[in-house]
């Protein structure tokens, strides 16, 4: 009758150790003592006596529990399949333990001890069944009922219940239930296990449950629909009444039994999805079931997924949305790869990017982002990213914003997962019609650049994302972006907070290498606004500190003017001016100390960062000035560049010079120049290094330092005067013998570093320059220096102006070209042509001084020269030169007219403007147009 069960028993007989069985004796101390007193007697003889004692149940529960505890201990001492004589001696106990009054005892402790004893008996007597079918059914009913107590791991009886569970699993005696056709009992055991499974259960408990369920499924002839419904109803992440342990247990069972379950699960799901029949358990949500099945047994879904494809095409929004969520969740599984059979549903899923309903499109976006974050290098990633890029132009701003979020999230997670061109496409959303999208794109691009800075591996190419700061700077010209927004991103979001100044400067050098003219101009505008705000704030702080009489009308008037000037840097000047007046009334000395530190150039970068936090903390979020001062901090603080940046840039110059990296060397000089122009006080303390660089034999470094001195010389002149090297002599030599660029900057630097605006030193230099004209040595540099002196020190230039004009006209402009006049290439101009161009520039500069241009004598003579140049390509029709030279001279003259028009527009005749605009050379016209636009 129990052939199948007996076969299973015979294959699984193992020795059961005394230590495990003795755990059953821990219920009561008295029972344990009694057992020890009877150890001298063999266990089966003790069981014989216990059977007699239990023939009539004791009236005392305590005594009954004592006898049953001794019995479980004795049973635990016995081997499987003992001799027939031993079994015969134990038969009284075997018969007594299954009496109805014990099997169906109402007390829980008694029932647990009986179940333990019966579990041991089935082990000992295997492979023979110890009882009739009806009794066995009652036995297993009792055993199954004990498992409901496994939910309470703190219960004193938990260990005893675990022993029953592990015994049932180890010896697979549960298979007897199948032969007894105890279908309801099998359902109960599945339901009970799923109900009691807890996350804090020992792994052995969950493993034993899994073993029992697998045996019941594998050994059964078929899988009933009601049992399958119980199994599948445990699947689903959203089910609150199912523990994570139960769901995991269910998935493990399905995974292990998939060969047996596959056809039934397929039929069950297809029936459910098609609506042909209603399942036994309506709690089965097939979308959730499919997701969990894909996680544990994806092969079972080969015939089911086409139905999901149909749902993606359904007209009903709810149906499409559920299908999108299902497919999206599946492809987001870690390590997921799309098999060939699933390609159609994946393709249809991507088409939902263009779904007519916004909710569906947003859901697809969320899921593909999760997918790429989980599997950034999956084979289908390029296909997904391409589909994402197409939605950057979606009609809904929320979709566009979400697409930016998805791509940037993936890029920040793994830069190599997103192609560079894709990030550049995202950057175009900086020009989106929606301000929401534009601002969000700026923030996320900064985040990508920050991730790039943090990525120190070789997987990302150097300089690959250095264009991002430039893109952000270009937004300065967008009316929707306030400068403080851009500056806030550049100061606070571009670099990781833990970055040192040296690392920041290294990246700034790379960034400057890629700047174009537009981006330079934008940065200069931001720096200019910051400079103006800092200067006015310093004036205000000085007025406030020096003035003891707050009611002085003159002082109040000056303070009010400072407020008005500073307010122009804000989006709402009126509101900003009111805020400045409120700020002026604050009495807290700590606040004014923080504001003083904020505009102090000697405040370190780290202290400047802390300054805002301290200031805002003192005010509190509810203070009316909280937001205003937060914005003021960004606009006024020295966070883009400060003294520490200057020191780091000077160090970088040495590094790149040694490496002969001239591109980055030029970037270093550009950074110094822009700092010198707008924050010259930051160079205080770096004079010695600048002078040393001035003596360097590298022309790029020399020109850069000259430009720095020209911009910041007035600020650092006192410190320069105490350096060991005679700076003014070096500058004079460069004015006489250097390149034209060096001469230009040297003249301005010489004027800047001397207290009388260079009048005395430039007078001496001027005499030497005029004397050198007749010598005709270093004429390009001499002409450049003379023109710059005319701009910076007109009183000096006027002393010998006639000599210079006479030399330029008669000795340079009226000179014939003795070189080959058949030149045809645009770049093949003669030396005398270049000298004439330099001479024209000198004359033009003499009519464009920095101060008092309107008091200059008549400009008619220069205009006559330019008219002839534009007409003939030379100062006179009779002069001989090549067509190339004439074209270059016409272009130079046309540029001169445009430059002069800034100050002398009212003096320039219409015919000269007409000639300027009709400059015939094609190359000249193109260059002229660019020049005209730049002016």
pLDDT digits (tens, 9 = 90+) for 244-258: 999 999 999 999 999
CA–CA separation, 875 and 868 (whole Å):
5
Span of 297-306, 519-528, 737-746, 772-781 with lowest mean pLDDT: 297-306
Can you tell me the mean pLDDT for 612-628? Answer: 90
Q: Is residue 105 scored above 70 in pLDDT? A: yes
pLDDT value for 761 = 84
Q: Is residue 116 scored above 50 in pLDDT? A: yes
Span of 88-102, 281-295, 400-414, 491-505 with lowest mean pLDDT: 281-295
CA–CA separation, 474 and 428 (whole Å):
11
39 band by pLDDT with thresholds 50, 70 and 90: very low
CB 52: neighbour CB atoms within 10 A?
12
864 with 878, same domain: the answer is yes
Whole-prediction pTM value? 0.79
Which of 637, 654, 680 terminates a domain? The answer is 680
pLDDT digits (tens, 9 = 90+) for 581-611: 999 989 888 999 999 988 899 999 989 888 8
Most confident of 126-130, 321-325, 552-556: 321-325
Which of 653, 680, 707 terminates a domain? The answer is 680
**Contact status, residue 481 vs residue 437, Cβ threshold 8 Å:** no
548 with 644, same domain: the answer is yes
pLDDT value for 820 = 61
CB 508: neighbour CB atoms within 10 A?
24
CA–CA separation, 333 and 233 (whole Å):
21
- Whether 461 maps to a domain, the answer reads no
More confident residue, 545 or 725: 545
pLDDT value for 819 = 63
Please give the DSSP secondary-structure letter assigned to residue 815.
P
Please give the DSSP secondary-structure letter assigned to residue 230.
H
Q: Of 360, 276, 362, whose CA–CA distance to 315 is shortest? A: 360
More confident residue, 558 or 9: 558
CA–CA separation, 125 and 737 (whole Å):
115
104 band by pLDDT with thresholds 50, 70 and 90: confident
Span of 66-75, 230-239, 584-593, 820-829 with lowest mean pLDDT: 820-829
Q: Is residue 320 scored above 50 in pLDDT? A: yes
CA–CA separation, 73 and 918 (whole Å):
117
Can you tell me the mean pLDDT for 368-396? Answer: 94
| Cα dihedral sign, 316-317-322-323 | positive
pLDDT digits (tens, 9 = 90+) for 860-893: 999 999 999 999 999 998 888 888 888 899 999 9
pLDDT digits (tens, 9 = 90+) for 250-309: 999 999 999 999 999 988 888 888 776 555 455 678 888 888 888 888 888 877 888 888
The number of distinct structural domains making up the chain is 3
Q: Is 402 exposed, middle or buried, given 0-12, 13-18 or 19+ CB atoms closer than 10 A?
A: buried
pLDDT value for 550 = 59
Contacts of residue 715, defined as CB under 8 A and 6 or more positions apart, other chains included, come to 680, 681, 683, 684
Secondary structure of 783-797 in the HEC alphabet?
HHHHHHHHHHCHHHH
851 band by pLDDT with thresholds 50, 70 and 90: confident
pLDDT value for 817 = 74
**Contact status, residue 265 vs residue 228, Cβ threshold 8 Å:** yes
pLDDT digits (tens, 9 = 90+) for 659-687: 999 999 999 999 999 999 999 999 999 99
512 with 630, same domain: the answer is yes
Q: Is 819 helix (H, G, I), strand (E, B) or coil?
A: coil
| Cα dihedral sign, 872-878-883-889 | negative
166 band by pLDDT with thresholds 50, 70 and 90: very high
Can you tell me the mean pLDDT for 421-434? Answer: 96
- Whether 723 maps to a domain, the answer reads yes
CA–CA separation, 399 and 411 (whole Å):
18
Max Cα–Cα distance, the chain, nearest Å: 146
Quick one: residue 335, left, alpha or beta (phi over 0 = left, psi -120 to 50 = alpha)? left
More confident residue, 54 or 581: 581
688 with 661, same domain: the answer is no
Which of 779, 794, 809 terminates a domain? The answer is 794
561 with 535, same domain: the answer is yes
636 with 688, same domain: the answer is no
551 with 643, same domain: the answer is yes
Q: Is 915 exposed, middle or buried, given 0-12, 13-18 or 19+ CB atoms closer than 10 A?
A: buried
At 128, give phi and psi (nearest 5°). -85, 145
Quick one: residue 815, left, alpha or beta (phi over 0 = left, psi -120 to 50 = alpha)? beta
745 with 813, same domain: the answer is no
Structural domain that includes position 763: 684-794
608 with 689, same domain: the answer is no
Tell the residue number behind the tokens 């720096």, with chain if given. 527
Q: Of 73, 173, 186, 179, whose CA–CA distance to 123 is shortest? A: 173
pLDDT value for 548 = 63
Contacts of residue 393, defined as CB under 8 A and 6 or more positions apart, other chains included, come to 400
DSSP per-residue string spanning 292-348: HHHHH-GGGGTTTHHHHHHHHT-SSHHHHHHHHHHHHHHHTSTT----GGGHHHHHH
Q: Is residue 219 scored above 70 in pLDDT? A: yes
Q: Is residue 562 scored above 60 in pLDDT? A: yes
630: its two tokens = 């937060």
DSSP per-residue string spanning 360-409: HHHHHHHHHHHHHHH-TT-TTHHHHHHHHHHGGG-SSHHHHHHHHHHHHH
- Whether 247 maps to a domain, the answer reads no
602 with 533, same domain: the answer is yes
777 with 901, same domain: the answer is no
- Whether 70 maps to a domain, the answer reads no
pLDDT value for 282 = 57
Stated length of the chain: 935
- Whether 913 maps to a domain, the answer reads yes
Q: Of 510, 509, 442, whose CA–CA distance to 476 is shortest? A: 442
pLDDT digits (tens, 9 = 90+) for 782-798: 999 999 999 998 989 99
- Whether 222 maps to a domain, the answer reads no
544 with 645, same domain: the answer is yes
- Whether 96 maps to a domain, the answer reads no
What is the residue-averaged pLDDT of the chain?
A: 86
- Whether 595 maps to a domain, the answer reads yes
């Amino acid at each position: 009758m129990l052939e199948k069960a007996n076969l299973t028993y015979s294959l699984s007989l193992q020795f059961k150790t005394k230590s495990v069985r003795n755990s059953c004796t821990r219920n009561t101390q008295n029972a344990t003592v009694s057992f020890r007193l009877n150890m001298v007697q063999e266990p089966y003889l003790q069981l014989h006596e216990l059977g007699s004692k239990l023939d009539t149940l004791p009236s005392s529960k305590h005594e009954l529990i004592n006898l049953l505890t001794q019995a479980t201990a004795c049973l635990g001492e016995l081997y499987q399949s003992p001799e027939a004589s031993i079994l015969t001696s134990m038969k009284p106990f075997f018969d007594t333990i299954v009496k109805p009054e014990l099997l169906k005892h109402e007390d829980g402790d008694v029932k647990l001890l009986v179940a333990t004893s019966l579990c041991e008996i089935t082990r000992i007597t295997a492979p023979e069944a110890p009882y009739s079918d009806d009794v066995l059914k009652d036995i297993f009913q009792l055993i199954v009922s004990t498992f409901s107590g496994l939910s309470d791991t703190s219960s004193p009886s938990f260990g005893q219940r675990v022993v029953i569970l592990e015994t049932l699993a180890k010896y697979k005696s549960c298979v007897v239930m199948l032969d007894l056709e105890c279908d309801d009992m099998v359902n109960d055991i599945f339901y009970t296990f799923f109900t009691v499974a807890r996350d804090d259960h020992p792994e052995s408990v969950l493993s034993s449950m899994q073993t029992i369920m697998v045996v019941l499924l594998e050994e059964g002839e078929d899988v009933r629909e009601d049992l399958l419904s119980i199994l599948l109803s445990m699947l689903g992440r959203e089910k609150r009444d199912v523990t994570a342990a139960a769901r995991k247990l269910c998935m493990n069972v399905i995974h292990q039994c998939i060969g047996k379950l596959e056809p039934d699960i397929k039929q069950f799901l297809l029936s459910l999805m098609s609506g042909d029949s209603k399942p036994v358990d309506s709690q089965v949500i097939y979308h959730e079931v499919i997701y969990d099945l894909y996680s544990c047994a994806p092969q079972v879904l080969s015939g089911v997924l086409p139905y999901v494809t149909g749902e993606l095409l359904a007209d009903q929004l709810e149906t499409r949305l559920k299908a999108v969520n299902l497919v999206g969740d599946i492809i987001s599984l870690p390590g997921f790869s799309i098999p060939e059979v699933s390609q159609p549903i994946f393709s249809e899923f991507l088409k939902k990017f263009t779904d007519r309903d916004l909710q569906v499109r947003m859901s697809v976006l969320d899921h593909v982002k999760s997918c790429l974050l989980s599997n950034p290098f999956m084979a289908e990633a390029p296909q997904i990213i391409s589909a994402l890029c197409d939605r950057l132009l979606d009609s809904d701003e929320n979709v566009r914003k979400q697409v930016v979020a998805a791509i940037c999230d993936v890029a920040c997670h793994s830069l190599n997962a997103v192609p560079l061109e894709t990030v550049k496409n995202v950057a175009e959303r900086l020009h989106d019609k929606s301000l929401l999208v534009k601002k969000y794109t700026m923030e996320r691009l900064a985040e990508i650049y920050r991730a790039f800075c943090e990525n120190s591996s070789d997987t990302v190419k150097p300089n690959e994302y250095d264009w991002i700061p430039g893109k952000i700077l270009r937004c300065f010209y967008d009316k929707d972006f306030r400068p403080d927004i851009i500056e806030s991103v550049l100061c606070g979001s571009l670099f990781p907070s833990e970055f040192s100044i040296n690392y920041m400067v290294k990246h700034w050098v790379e960034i400057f290498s890629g700047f174009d003219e537009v981006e330079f101009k934008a940065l200069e505008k931001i720096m200019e606004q910051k400079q103006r705000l800092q200067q006015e704030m310093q004036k205000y702080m000085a007025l406030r500190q020096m003035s003891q009489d707050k009611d002085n009308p003159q002082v109040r008037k000056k303070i009010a003017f400072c407020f008005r000037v500073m307010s122009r840097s804000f989006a709402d000047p009126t509101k900003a001016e009111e805020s400045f007046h409120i700020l002026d009334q604050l009495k807290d000395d700590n606040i004014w100390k923080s504001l003083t530190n904020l505009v102090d150039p000697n405040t370190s970068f780290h202290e400047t960062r802390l300054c805002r936090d301290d200031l805002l903390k003192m005010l509190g979020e509810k203070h009316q000035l909280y937001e205003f001062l937060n914005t003021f901090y960004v606009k006024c603080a020295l966070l883009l560049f400060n003294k520490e940046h200057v020191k780091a840039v000077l160090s970088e110059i040495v590094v790149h010079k040694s490496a002969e990296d001239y591109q980055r060397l030029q970037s270093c000089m550009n950074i110094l120049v822009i700092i010198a122009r707008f924050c010259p006080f930051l160079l205080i303390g770096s004079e010695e290094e600048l002078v040393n660089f001035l003596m360097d034999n590298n022309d790029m470094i020399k020109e850069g330092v000259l430009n720095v001195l020209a911009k910041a010389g007035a600020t650092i002149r006192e410190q320069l005067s105490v350096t060991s090297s005679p700076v003014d002599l070096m500058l004079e030599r460069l004015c006489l013998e250097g390149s034209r660029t060096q001469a230009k900057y040297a003249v301005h630097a010489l004027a800047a570093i001397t207290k009388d605006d260079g009048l005395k030193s430039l007078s001496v230099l001027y005499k030497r320059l005029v004397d050198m004209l007749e010598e005709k040595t270093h004429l390009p540099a001499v002409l450049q220096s003379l023109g710059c002196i005319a701009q910076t020190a007109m009183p000096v230039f006027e002393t010998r102006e006639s000599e210079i004009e006479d030399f330029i006209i008669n000795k340079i402009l009226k000179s014939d070209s003795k070189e080959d006049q058949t030149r045809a290439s645009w770049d093949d101009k003669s030396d005398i042509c270049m000298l004439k161009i330099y001479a024209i520039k000198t004359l033009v500069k003499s009519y464009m001084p920095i101060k008092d241009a309107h008091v200059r004598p008549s400009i008619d003579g220069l205009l006559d020269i330019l008219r002839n140049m534009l007409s003939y390509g030379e100062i006179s029709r009779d002069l001989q030169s090549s067509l190339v030279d004439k074209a270059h001279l016409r272009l130079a003259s046309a540029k001169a007219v445009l430059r002069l028009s800034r100050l002398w527009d009212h003096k320039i005749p219409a015919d000269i403007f007409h000639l300027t605009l009709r400059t015939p050379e094609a190359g000249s016209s193109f260059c002229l147009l660019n020049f005209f636009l730049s002016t």
